[in-house]
Structure 1
Amino acid sequence: MISVLNVVLASAISWIGWGVLKRFVLTSSLDNLPGPPSASNLYGNIRDLLSYDGWDYHRHILDTYGRAQKLAGPFGVSIFLTYDPTALHHILIKDQPTFDVVTGYTIPLSDQSLTSTFNHWIGEQHRKQRKMMNPVFSIKHMRDMIPLFYEVTDRLCSSLKTKLRDERQEVDILDWLSRTALELIGQCGMDCSFDSLEGEGNDHPFAQAIKQYARLASGSFGFVLNPFFPYINKWNLPRLKRFTVDHIPIDRVQKLKGVIDVIYNNSRDIIDKKKSALASNDKAVAAEMMKKKDIITILSKLANLEADESSRMTDEEVSGQISLFLFAATDTTSSALARILQILSTNMNAQDKLRKEIRDAERNGQLTYDQLVSLPYLDAVCRETLRLFPPASFASTRIANSDAVIPLSKPIIGKDGKEISEIMIPKGTNILVSITGFNTNPDVWGADALEWKPERWLSPLPQTLGEVRSPGVYSHLMTFLGGSRACIGFKFSQLEMKVVMATLLSSFKFETAPGHKITWKMTSVVAPYVDKPDGPHPGLPILMSVASD
């Protein structure tokens, strides 16, 4: 059987490889663009760019080769990298259907279904599901969720006070923030609890799987596989695909498969319980379910009770949403919160100013939604941190599904010395959107673009921001992207960040913990790692104490 598998794999790889060679390697209209020389025949520039420590290389190519450049991808594929605002507006908004998201890891999970746990929908399917989910992320719904947010963050605050016992102690704040973010999306999104937030650690399989996924799916590993996904996804042979995945002799693939299975099975368990409750013959149970405001209950009602037949979501689609929400709402938000607390631990003036603003607003009790979103310095700190340190350095890879022409905001100089004002993008070209590049572009943000300065949001922003027509859905930034593929949960994320920050800073003081080397790794979601004798481990040790009144 293994020999048959080897033949199938060899044939498939040869066929796909020839397609890649024909379409990308022989010639490319991108060859005249500036860009770094290829570092490897197999990986091109991708291993350097997407390595865990790729910050310096990323900064180098942004500063050296500019707003629109050509990279060498795996197997010699040409990749277009850009942070030009006009190009981004064209790719993400004006001509978005031409530049769709590359499908992610595709692993068959049953005989009947082929699903990618963090798969993106395409075309009309995406538009349909997005329209159905928009009410879940409305301002009205955010207001309704405030009590749930505070219930979770009050538990966090109580546990930390118990741990500190009025003493100044070192705390791994990343672990607590990750647990809190998971519990918040569990309560507000799934109507279930993943963590009591009592004591140290959390062994819930969802939490462990999400942490492992971010590490296993990061770096050049996934990007090398991108050229193969369009071909693999055309094979409607789920049993063969699963069999193939089961027998790939790569430890990382097997671990990733196990992680995705855990997430998928837990997602289906949530769906089954929700469906059972919605269909209950007990009128009291059914009535209670109709009152619930969590994301999945609302999504289930929209999908299965209120939507017409053609618009209803399948269980596979709802499962994909559970997985996506859990991953996106846990790692990205905890990353941003950890970054803010690390910065504030080294900038006591900013921390004291923010604490005073929060405490002054809390004099009449727990903050409402409108009070939270109107705190100017809290808002400025969140915006500035998300600008300079976005949780993801790149957007999901786009791929041109037809030949296209992309205009630039102003001309660049090609390798032949001539000006280029628009770029011909061949069908099948992979496109990398540099979120960091746009958010730190000095032509847009000014000469101090690489400085953390919340005050920039408390005065008129640079005139250049209005001139470049940023496609971002949030504060002129690319952190949450823009257009129909913008992060649908960015309002949820913002509210979560502000509730957690208000709760923690009102009660605690944060200082740098001595004796630790902290590095931020460029995993799929940026995360802090602390050096230990056996190597770097995810974590952010920080000194905490109860803040004086």
Structure 2
Amino acid sequence: MSSDYSLHGLVWLASLLAAFLTIILALYSLCPHLIRQMVLWRIPGPPCQSFLTGNFLQMFDAVSGFEFRKHVWKNYGTVSRFHGPLWDQILLISDPVALTSILIKQQETFEQHEWFTELFRHAVGPGLLSSTGALHRRQRKLLNPIFSPSRIRSMVPLLHKITDQVNRVFRDALRSQITDGPMELDIVEWFGRLVLEMIAQGGLGHSFDDFTYGADKNEFNIAIKEFMLVMSRLNLFLPIFLLVTHWPSKLLRSIAVCLPWADLHHFLGIVDTMDRCTVRLFQSKKALLAQGDAELTQLVSGGQDIISVLMTTDTDAGETEMQDDEIMAQMLTLLAAATETTSNSIARLVHVLSQHQDAQDELRREVNAAVAVSGGELGYEQLTELPYLDAICRETLRLYPPASFVSRICRADTTIPLSHPIPIDYTPHSSLFVPRGTTIILDILGINCSQDIWGADADSWRPERWLSPLPESVAGARIPGVYSNMLTFLGGPRSCIGFKLSELEMKVVLSQLIRSFRFLPSKTEIVWRLGPVTTPSVKGSLATSSLPVVLERI
């Protein structure tokens, strides 16, 4: 009996010693980083909430994170500091001059955070979101012509055709009711299916969905829709991934399978499904290509989808073609990244219009008048020339960007300029020293809603602001974004390559649905959840995306 107690004591002592040594090693590795960051403690910021997590949980809380960031803007300005886990100091920046330096002038110093690129590399392969440096520049150069204005313009009939399928589903659902009146529908599900099909046909040349009313049974559809949602639930723990990020994928997977973590297992299943379906599609397309270019016309896109063009276009002299694994990674990147952002943006547009009946009526009048002149569905030129439709899209993307922030990590000691001096030790500083290893949160929402730039009503949804000249402060701010003086689609070499296609998809969907239905608000309370992509949920059910809206036939 005494020997059992002795053994138990030795095990307990060994566990205590192992824990002590782990803490010592962690502190030893953290100390140089924390010492470098001592210069950041002088920057204004909120007080630390917790020794272990700092302000991290406040800043990225799914429900209250937006309000906490607004509190930080109002009290600490466009450049502030908050506490990350274990005393790590993180910068929150919405200063336009600093953002220009980070996104454009010093882009190679401020790269995407390693955990993000490595996670995407393990999940989808060497695609545009997971590549860096020379590889990213080469992929971007090869993909840029595929997203040219002329190619995007040619996709308008396809976008109308797919939207019309969903339009008919909505009309049939309303007719099937016992009473011919308004009907509540979960639009986020349908817009997810709609945008995924647009990207599937326009991007891959393949159809996944026949839009049968009811539950979506396609495993690829389900996996793509759940990819970003499940990743957002893992988001707070992903920095741990940095500790093992360069281990082989097979070893990482073996470890992950053994961990008692349901969301991680779910994420692995999603990745497996996406990979299996993508390989099958790619091999099918490659087989058609081997039979000759004419065989590609069997695809729903007639061989003019993004991936078919990428596989059949000769590269410039000296430019290396994409390898098979790169092309499959681009397929997955297109589906995973573009579906969630665009579908949630369209859902937000409809949700906002349901709350602003006057704006909805004005948009309907404009679209109906344009259709009466054109005699049919609106083409590219007509869609881009409707001022109120354009104003509604711009204002919604300004006030409600699908991704409200992105992160960067500083790879080397550097200094960034500021548009307005910040107080450090009661002395104004017009530049900021950033030590290597510092994480920076680029606050897209903060600069899009800055009252100094957009005026006192910057927090208000007012599409009319786009129908007259914008304040001089907007142009004067020189926001480094690729889209309409805002940072919604970022700027610089890592700006959203498909933002014009995304905007066009929004306009096509709105121009059709606004003629068929009136959008009315549901009595259900909706919460827009903070994450890598902002998503809607019914209050009390944050684990799933949902946005009920009442539709009434016109």
Same fold (TM over 0.5): yes
Residue from 188, 202, 205 that aligns with 2:216: 202
1:143 equivalent to 2:156? Answer no
Q: C-alpha displacement at 1:55, in angstroms?
A: 1.7
The 2-side partners of 1:9 and 1:373 are apart by: 62
What does the per-residue CA deviation read over 1:383-408, in whole Å, with 9 as the maximum and x for residues that have no partner?
0000011111102x211111110110
- Change in 2 beyond 3 A, CA 1:287/1:446: closer
Match for 1:484: what amino acid?
P
Is the Cα–Cα contact under 8 Å of residues 528 and 537 in structure 2 kept in the other structure?
yes
Match for 1:481: what amino acid?
L
The 2-side partners of 1:11 and 1:257 are apart by: 32
Q: C-alpha displacement at 1:435, in angstroms?
A: 0.5
Q: C-alpha displacement at 1:107, in angstroms?
A: 6.1
Q: Secondary structure, in 3 states, of the residue corresponding to 2:397?
A: helix
The Cα RMSD (Å) is: 2.7
- Change in 2 beyond 3 A, CA 1:283/1:344: closer
2:536 maps to 528
The 2-side partners of 1:76 and 1:339 are apart by: 37
Q: Secondary structure, in 3 states, of the residue corresponding to 1:311?
A: coil
Q: C-alpha displacement at 1:14, in angstroms?
A: 8.0
Match for 1:34: what amino acid?
P
- Change in 2 beyond 3 A, CA 1:27/1:277: same
What does the per-residue CA deviation read over 1:81-135, in whole Å, with 9 as the maximum and x for residues that have no partner?
100000000000111111111132746999xx99478842101111100010011
2:229 maps to 215
Q: Secondary structure, in 3 states, of the residue corresponding to 1:29?
A: helix
Is the Cα–Cα contact under 8 Å of residues 71 and 79 in structure 1 kept in the other structure?
yes
1:372 maps to 383
The 2-side partners of 1:150 and 1:122 are apart by: 36
2:272 maps to 261
1:3 maps to none
2:205 maps to 191
1:46 maps to 56
Residue from 105, 108, 124 that aligns with 1:94: 105
Number of residue pairs aligned between Structure 1 and Structure 2: 529
Match for 1:472: what amino acid?
G
- Change in 2 beyond 3 A, CA 1:538/1:25: farther
Residue from 295, 299, 310 that aligns with 2:306: 295
Is the Cα–Cα contact under 8 Å of residues 192 and 343 in structure 2 kept in the other structure?
yes
Is the Cα–Cα contact under 8 Å of residues 30 and 423 in structure 1 kept in the other structure?
no
2:288 maps to 277
2:14 maps to none
- Change in 2 beyond 3 A, CA 1:10/1:401: farther
Q: Secondary structure, in 3 states, of the residue corresponding to 1:97?
A: coil
Q: Secondary structure, in 3 states, of the residue corresponding to 1:276?
A: helix
Match for 1:448: what amino acid?
D
Is the Cα–Cα contact under 8 Å of residues 345 and 351 in structure 1 kept in the other structure?
yes
Match for 2:550: what amino acid?
L
The 2-side partners of 1:381 and 1:258 are apart by: 38
Q: Secondary structure, in 3 states, of the residue corresponding to 1:31?
A: helix
Q: Secondary structure, in 3 states, of the residue corresponding to 2:309?
A: helix
Once the two structures are superposed, the pairs formed by residues 233-252 of structure 1 within 5 Å of their partners are: 233-235=245-247, 237-252=248-263
Match for 1:478: what amino acid?
L
Q: C-alpha displacement at 1:508, in angstroms?
A: 0.9
The 2-side partners of 1:228 and 1:238 are apart by: 12
1:479 maps to 488
Match for 1:262: what amino acid?
T
1:544 maps to 551
Q: C-alpha displacement at 1:513, in angstroms?
A: 2.1
What does the per-residue CA deviation read over 1:415-461, in whole Å, with 9 as the maximum and x for residues that have no partner?
x2111211111111111101000000000000110000000000010
TM-score under structure 2 length normalisation: 0.89
Residue from 70, 76, 83 that aligns with 1:72: 83
Q: C-alpha displacement at 1:213, in angstroms?
A: 2.4
- Show structure 1 runs of 5+ residues with no match: 1-7
The 1-side partners of 2:100 and 2:131 are apart by: 20
1:517 equivalent to 2:522? Answer no
The 1-side partners of 2:499 and 2:293 are apart by: 36
The 2-side partners of 1:133 and 1:13 are apart by: 46
TM-score under structure 1 length normalisation: 0.90
Is the Cα–Cα contact under 8 Å of residues 296 and 303 in structure 2 kept in the other structure?
no
The 1-side partners of 2:421 and 2:97 are apart by: 11
The 2-side partners of 1:210 and 1:439 are apart by: 29
Q: Secondary structure, in 3 states, of the residue corresponding to 1:343?
A: helix
Is the Cα–Cα contact under 8 Å of residues 186 and 194 in structure 1 kept in the other structure?
yes
Is the Cα–Cα contact under 8 Å of residues 529 and 542 in structure 2 kept in the other structure?
no
Residue from 383, 387, 401 that aligns with 2:411: 401
Is the Cα–Cα contact under 8 Å of residues 530 and 536 in structure 1 kept in the other structure?
no
Once the two structures are superposed, the pairs formed by residues 75-474 of structure 1 within 5 Å of their partners are: 75-103=86-114, 104=116, 106=118, 115=125, 119-165=129-175, 166-218=180-232, 221-226=234-239, 228-229=241-242, 232-235=244-247, 237-280=248-291, 284-285=294-295, 292-302=303-313, 306=315, 311-363=320-372, 364-395=375-406, 397-414=407-424, 416-474=425-483
Q: Secondary structure, in 3 states, of the residue corresponding to 1:96?
A: coil
The 1-side partners of 2:364 and 2:23 are apart by: 58
Q: C-alpha displacement at 1:15, in angstroms?
A: 6.3
Q: C-alpha displacement at 1:300, in angstroms?
A: 2.0
Return the index of the structure with the highest Cα Rg: 2
Identical columns (%) = 37
Q: Secondary structure, in 3 states, of the residue corresponding to 2:154?
A: helix
The 2-side partners of 1:58 and 1:265 are apart by: 40
Residue from 73, 79, 100 that aligns with 1:62: 73
Q: C-alpha displacement at 1:9, in angstroms?
A: 13
- Change in 2 beyond 3 A, CA 1:65/1:18: same
Is the Cα–Cα contact under 8 Å of residues 152 and 180 in structure 1 kept in the other structure?
yes
- Change in 2 beyond 3 A, CA 1:283/1:465: closer
Match for 1:453: what amino acid?
R
